[in-house]
Chains A and B, each alone.
Chain A
Amino acid sequence: MIGNVARSLLGVLILMAFLYGAAFLVRAFALPFPAPILGLLMLTALLLLMRRVPAGIAAGSDTLIRIFPLLFIPPIVALLGVKALVLSAPLVLLLAISASTLVGLLVTAFLYRLLARGQGGS
């Protein structure tokens, strides 16, 4: 139990080290994309080189993905600060969320079925 918690904490610290390393590179070279994305690319490259996921990194990633919803809460609460902008176009928001999500689901599933069949897959 304690070993698992320690391993998760270590993993989260490793991910933060990647994040800060990426943030340093973004600033030093004035790169055009956000630090978390560069960190994600750097870690993916490392995993591809190692051909496996070290236990610490796996535990850290699993922990953070599990608490993903917790991390979304402050940005949602911050929505109160821009209430007027949201209420200015409720119909647009409703359409964006419902109809366009169905379009996205439909196109993805059908394109895959069409092309996978063409390749002889299932």
Chain B
Amino acid sequence: MIWPIVTVVLFLIADRIYQRLGHRAYAHPILLPSAVLLAWFSVHEAGLEAYLTATDGLGVLLAAAVVGLAVPLFRSWGAVKANKRAVLAAIAGGSISGVMSALLPAILLDAPAALTASLGTKSITTPLAVTVVESIGGVASIAAAVVVVTGLFAALVGPWFMRALGVDDDVATGLALGTAGHAIGTAEAVRLSDTMGAAAAFAMTVNGLATAVLLPLVWP
């Protein structure tokens, strides 16, 4: 019972800091608890198993959160409806190019198969990645870490990268952040503007769903 409480308390502290700093990606509330717990269990390796068993309940909430994504999907439809073909094509193109460019170095550098499979889900939100990756022979915990670091990278570098490329359109930036950076990119987009947030929520959900359904079917 102690471990779920420790995890929640660490998260609440990190979330308070994140709010204080105005939702800066570098203060993302996943960083502090992860760093503390990773440091603790690097030293006390024997306790890892017990921690994972004790925090199983959070896994059920994660699955329920995936079901709850229906709400932003439904709400954001209005923001993207006007250009729906362009929106869907952009999400599909960004998703396929993102997955291919992640897999290519893995294949060329002859990475272990389980690692390569764990990269296929890098741009879809964690609960989807974790449920899908095992069906293609990947490892859930690697997939989860790759997803989170990808999301942080997209949230930190994405808005700056878009401006550097001369993209000043909120819908385009939102779609890019949601497609490449899933929930963490979407949280950043919501902070920047409502339109950007709605476009990102839509892109995150559509990309997540399409990848989750299609990847196991096309995976060799």
Contacts and interface: CB of A to CB of B under 8 A. Distances in A.
Contacts of A80: 38, 41-42, 45, 48
Taking chain A's interface residues, is the majority helix, strand, or loop, or is none over half, making it mixed? helix
| A: interface residue count bin | 35 or more
A98 interface: yes
Given A73-B30, A97-B153, A122-B169, A112 B70 contact: no
A105 B209 CA distance: 18
By secondary structure, the B interface counts as: helix
A28 interface: no
Interface string A14-39: 01101100100000000011111101
B137 interface: no
A46 B213 CA distance: 20
B105 A121 contact: no
Most buried by B among A47, A48, A80: A80
B203 A44 contact: no
A72 B149 CA distance: 12
A95 B146 CA distance: 11
Contacts, number: 330
A71 B184 CA distance: 13
Contacts of B10: 73
Contacts of B213: 33, 37
B198 interface: no
B38 A109 contact: no
User: How big is the B interface, by class?
Assistant: 35 or more
Contacts of A1: none
A96 B183 CA distance: 18
A74 B52 contact: yes
Contact of A104 (B67, B123, B149): B123
Interface in B54-78: 55, 58-75
B67 A107 contact: no
15 contacts: A15-B68, A61-B72, A65-B69, A70-B7, A73-B7, A73-B34, A73-B55, A77-B34, A77-B37, A96-B103, A96-B122, A97-B149, A107-B90, A109-B167, A109-B169
Q: Which 6 A-B pairs have the closest CB atoms?
A: A108-B94, A104-B98, A75-B144, A61-B68, A115-B86, A112-B90
